[in-house]
Amino acid sequence: MAKSTNGQAIIRAGERILEREELVKLALAIGLEKKATRPLAIDLRNQGAFTEYFAILSATNARQVAAVAEEIRLFFRDELGLQPVAVDGREQRTWILLDYGFLFVHVFQEPTRELYSLEKLWSKGRYITPADQELAELLAEVKAALPKSSSASADDSAGATV
């Protein structure tokens, strides 16, 4: 994977280069495609946080939490070559965290989201609230940019991390 001049990995969907904020929105879009609700991203770059972005989604039950998180993980791995640094919460399935270093994807059951209230905890971050249509268009654009046989080898365990 190529590096940009600032040392960050360059992530591509075919010939299209994806900026980090687009990757955040892409995670939300994939979640919405799996019927997640209440998509929200928070830009934490000016907050001295341990990550640059949060992507937060809600799901109605444990099975949906797992399905949404897994769909995001697989798309990022198979189509973009991104592996999470860590995945937490798979057993309980009330809150699954996909840690990509620069991006934490949080998939919550609604009561757990309300309990931990990350939106309030990180309220000084810049909220990114794209419309569902914008997210759907981004996902369609990224999918269209992928090569026709785009899926990376499933046994390619050396996927990139950023």
Domain ranges of the chain: 16-145
Burial label for 39, CB within 10 Å (0-12, 13-18, 19+), is buried
Query: 20, 103 in Cβ contact below 8 A?
Result: yes
Q: Which percentage of the chain shows pLDDT scores above 90? A: 80
What tens digit of pLDDT does each residue of 52-89 get?
A: 999 999 999 999 999 999 999 999 999 999 999 999 99
SS3 state of residue 6 = coil
User: Domain 16-145 is in which class?
Assistant: alpha beta
